Structure 1
Amino acid sequence: MTRRDGEALVLMSQREAEGRARLLEFAAQLITVTLDDNGSLAERMSKAFPWMLALSPADRDTCAQNLVDAARASFSTDQPHLAIAELTSWKETATAIAAGLGRTDLEWLDGDDVVERP
């Protein structure tokens, strides 16, 4: 559609607009992380995303790299959902760990064990 001033008008859904806004917010946080030169990538990202502190040090490293990779994929393909899904997944994992989920010792059943129906 062309407006009177000759500039093209683009319409998008509310979901698309929110996805782009969230991706831009995420990009701003990543830029802040890259400008900081103190510590590893995971340490710098933990400052921008304090929920990462609930993860183990090894998981923080993995999370940091996964988030950067997902952001690069999102930016290069114009698909905001890639980065936002990765961010949401890691944040929910950290939240579950902080809530104590995953600390319970699991009792594994042998292949021969039968579990009665409740």
Structure 2
Amino acid sequence: MTLLAPPRRRRIIQSSDLSRHAKDVFAAAEQEPLEVTRRDGAPLVLTTKARSDDDDAVLDIAAELIAAVTVNEHLPLHERLAIPYPWIAMLSRDDQRQFAREIVEVARGSFALRQPRKLLLEMQAWRNSAEAIAAGWAAAEPELLQEPVVVEKP
């Protein structure tokens, strides 16, 4: 039996509260999306642009993951993911495979729990790793100091 994600519950406010107490309503919308009910139309959701942009980014990732999982099934998943995310070619083969496994697992978990930000953070962490490798950060061993450096307290 598959458990569905619980319905999203939002704080509900009346459109009249928005006009009478705009400052308070906007402050609340910065914390969480608000459902604004109206007598003359369908309810609206008030949220921040950053949260809306994150939602769009998550949908983009979800679309790419679904496409990668369902097309070219004869190719390994990490090779299919290299099409929308060419930067994974900077990772080792083992890391590419690990990326493919982890990003699908994190996507499934974050969607099930309605925590899409986790998926965005995971994707950005892998991309940051690829950028660091491409910049040569993994090429040389770090130089270790022979003596500790003493610094003053700030």
TM-score by length of 2: 0.67
Is the contact between residue 33 and residue 45 of structure 1 (CA under 8 Å) also seen in structure 2? yes
Q: What is the rounded CA distance, in whole Å, between the counterparts of 2:142 and 2:122 in structure 1?
A: 27
Greater helix percent: which structure? 1
Runs of 5+ consecutive residues of structure 2 not aligned to the other structure: 1-35
Greater strand percent: which structure? 2
Identity %: 34
Post-superposition offset of 1:4: 3.3
- Give the aligned partner of residue 82 of structure 2: 46
- Give the aligned partner of residue 72 of structure 1: 108
Q: Aligned pair count?
A: 115
The AA in structure 1 aligned to 2:58 is L
The partner residue of 2:67 within 32, 51, 61 is: 32
In our comparison, the structure showing a higher alpha carbon Rg is 2
- Give the aligned partner of residue 16 of structure 1: 51
Q: What is the rounded CA distance, in whole Å, between the counterparts of 1:4 and 1:116 in structure 2?
A: 68
1:96 aligns with 2:132: yes
Give the number of the structure with larger relative contact order, counting CA–CA contacts within 8 Å between residues 6 or more apart. Answer: 1
1:57 aligns with 2:90: no
- Give the aligned partner of residue 6 of structure 2: none
Runs of 5+ consecutive residues of structure 1 not aligned to the other structure: none
Q: What do the CA deviations read for 1:40-74 (whole angstroms, capped 9, x no partner)? A: 11111112211000000000011111111111122
- Give the aligned partner of residue 147 of structure 2: 114
TM-score by length of 1: 0.86
Is the contact between residue 38 and residue 44 of structure 1 (CA under 8 Å) also seen in structure 2? no
How large is the Cα RMSD of the aligned pairs? 1.9
Q: What is the rounded CA distance, in whole Å, between the counterparts of 1:8 and 1:102 in structure 2?
A: 51
